[in-house]
């Protein structure tokens, strides 16, 4: 919020008007805050996304969700504001630190897991080439992810239905991020852990086809992503999840896979059930 104010004040001081256009050049954090500043400045000016991280390219820069965190939770202040354009240059990724690149892979694997089993199989098969940075393969994967996200958002911009599937792995991830005070696990890393948990919970409930969680976990681990959670206090995660704004009429909203490539939403999982599963998951079964 403090940074928002700095951006808005400097925009006004430098003479921005309704015809001004902001450019978000950076990772997802820069994109989210710039988009929110653009949505707020003079009740809305245009903006362009130039994502520089893998995660921002495949996910954060597309779809028009903008916002900032507040101490009470992730993205609790924000707006839907579509960028005028999203420009990507994969060469920017040459300077992206490895750990950040892996966090981007978590959202790529998420996109494949909820919507495209062929993409998931391609990533499994070509893992070595992808990690070595093969430009043609990476272009193909990034393009596919952007198309999937754009398709989903076109159908449901305001997240009243289908768009919720993009939150696969995010129910627990947001709890982890809020409980740790942002920053220890990267967003993508928390999502990786959250996806494994959602897949295990789904299998336990009989919603998710057996062996899905193992396959997903193996792929995430192969990309160097965390798949377990041991050090965080469970009660802090539970408190943070209690504040999650993603609730349906019946309770906390979970995205499950029926199988790899297909997602569904449920808000009727009893708190006692997912909480018991979470305690088991944190202790490592
Ligand atoms: N709006 C959405 O729909 C949406 C979707 C997914 C994630 N997000 C948000 O995006 C954020 C995560 O984005 P992120 O992973 O890009 O994190 P980030 O913005 O924190 O960037 C990660 C780090 O990499 C650096 N960096 C970025 N590009 C670089 C490059 N090309 N070379 C060298 N360093 C570079 C950044 O300075 C930063 O230190 C989270 O806050 C998440 O909530 C938003
Ligand atoms: Zn995410």
Q: What is the CATH number of the domain that holds 255?
A: 1.20.1090.10
For atom 43 of ligand 1, the residue with the nearest CA is: 187
- Tell me: do 114 and 255 sit in the same domain: yes
- Out of 37-41, 148-152, 209-213, 241-245, least confident range: 241-245
- Tell me: do 64 and 118 sit in the same domain: no
| Residue 283 banded pLDDT, cuts 50, 70, 90 | confident
- Tell me: do 157 and 51 sit in the same domain: no
Q: How far apart are CA 135 and CA 246, in angstroms?
A: 36
| Residue 232 banded pLDDT, cuts 50, 70, 90 | confident
For atom 39 of ligand 1, the residue with the nearest CA is: 27
Give the residue from 92, 108, 143 where a domain finishes: 92
- Tell me: do 205 and 157 sit in the same domain: yes
- Tell me: do 116 and 234 sit in the same domain: yes
In this predicted model, what pLDDT tens digit does every residue of 33-50 receive, in sequence order? 999 999 999 999 999 999
For residue 146, pLDDT beyond 80: yes
Helix (H, G, I), strand (E, B) or coil at 204: helix
Q: How far apart are CA 173 and CA 53, in angstroms?
A: 19
φ, ψ of residue 75 in degrees (nearest 5): 50, 35
Point out the ligand 1 atom lying closest to the alpha carbon of residue 188: 15
- Tell me: do 156 and 238 sit in the same domain: yes
| Residue 202 banded pLDDT, cuts 50, 70, 90 | very high
Q: How far apart are CA 88 and CA 66, in angstroms?
A: 18
Q: What is the mean pLDDT of residues 188-193?
A: 96
- Centre of ligand 2 from the C-alpha of residue 165, in Å: 11
Q: Are 219 and 105 in contact (CB under 8 A)?
A: no
Tokens 């289908």 identify what position?
162
Enclosing H/E stretch for 187: helix 187-205
Nearest ligand (C-alpha, residue 65): 1
Domain count, the chain: 2
If one compares 46 and 69, the residue with the highest pLDDT of the two is 46
- Tell me: do 38 and 105 sit in the same domain: no
- Supply the range of the domain harboring residue 87: 2-92
- Tell me: do 29 and 156 sit in the same domain: no
**pTM for this model (two decimals):** 0.94
- Centre of ligand 2 from the C-alpha of residue 255, in Å: 13
Q: What is the mean pLDDT of residues 146-158?
A: 96
* pLDDT score at 177: 86
Q: How far apart are CA 279 and CA 189, in angstroms?
A: 19
- Tell me: do 161 and 243 sit in the same domain: yes
For 72, how many CA atoms within 13 A lie in the half-sphere containing its CB?
7
- Tell me: do 252 and 139 sit in the same domain: yes
For atom 34 of ligand 1, the residue with the nearest CA is: 96
Give the residue from 92, 118, 139 where a domain finishes: 92
Q: Which residues have CB under 6 Å of ligand 1?
A: 26-30, 32, 52-53, 55-56, 59-60, 63, 65, 92-93, 95-96, 100, 103, 187
Nearest ligand (C-alpha, residue 100): 1
Give the residue from 43, 61, 92 where a domain finishes: 92
Q: What is the mean pLDDT of residues 73-85?
A: 91
Look up the CATH number of the domain holding residue 38: 3.40.50.1970
- Tell me: do 124 and 258 sit in the same domain: yes
* pLDDT score at 135: 92
- Out of 122-126, 186-190, 201-205, 278-282, least confident range: 278-282
- Centre of ligand 2 from the C-alpha of residue 207, in Å: 23
Active-site amino acid positions: 43, 65, 107, 149, 159, 163, 167, 170, 174, 187
Give the distance from CA 148 to its chain's centroid. Answer: 14
Strands 254-259, 251-252: pairing is unpaired
Q: How far apart are CA 235 and CA 232, in angstroms?
A: 9
- Tell me: do 81 and 12 sit in the same domain: yes
């Amino acid at each position: 919020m403090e940074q928002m104010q700095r951006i808005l004040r400097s925009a006004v001081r430098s003479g921005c008007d309704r015809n001004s256009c902001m450019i978000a050049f950076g990772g997802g954090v820069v994109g989210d805050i710039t988009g929110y500043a653009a949505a707020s400045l003079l009740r809305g000016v245009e903006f362009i996304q130039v994502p520089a991280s893998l995660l921002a390219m495949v996910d954060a820069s597309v779809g028009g969700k903008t916002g900032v965190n507040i101490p009470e939770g992730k993205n609790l202040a924000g707006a839907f504001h579509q960028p005028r354009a999203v420009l990507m240059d994969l060469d920017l990724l040459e300077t992206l630190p490895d750990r950040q690149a892996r966090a981007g892979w978590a959202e790529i694997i998420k996109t494949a897991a909820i919507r495209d089993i062929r993409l998931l199989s391609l990533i499994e098969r070509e893992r070595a080439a992808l990690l070595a940075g093969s430009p043609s393969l990476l272009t193909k994967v990034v393009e596919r992810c952007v198309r999937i996200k754009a398709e989903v958002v076109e159908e449901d911009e305001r997240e009243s239905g289908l768009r919720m599937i993009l939150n696969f792995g995010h129910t627990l991830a947001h709890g982890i991020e809020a409980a740790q005070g942002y920053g220890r696990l990267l967003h993508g890393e928390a999502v990786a852990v959250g996806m494994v948990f959602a897949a295990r919970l789904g299998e336990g409930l009989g919603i998710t086809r057996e062996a899905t969680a193992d396959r997903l976990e193996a792929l995430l681990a192969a990309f160097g992503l965390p798949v377990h959670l041991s050090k965080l206090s469970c009660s802090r995660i539970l408190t943070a999840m209690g504040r999650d704004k993603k609730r349906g009429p019946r309770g906390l909203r979970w995205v499950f896979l029926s199988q790899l490539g297909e997602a569904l939403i449920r808000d009727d999982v009893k708190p006692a059930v997912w909480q018991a599963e979470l305690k088991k998951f944190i202790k490592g079964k």
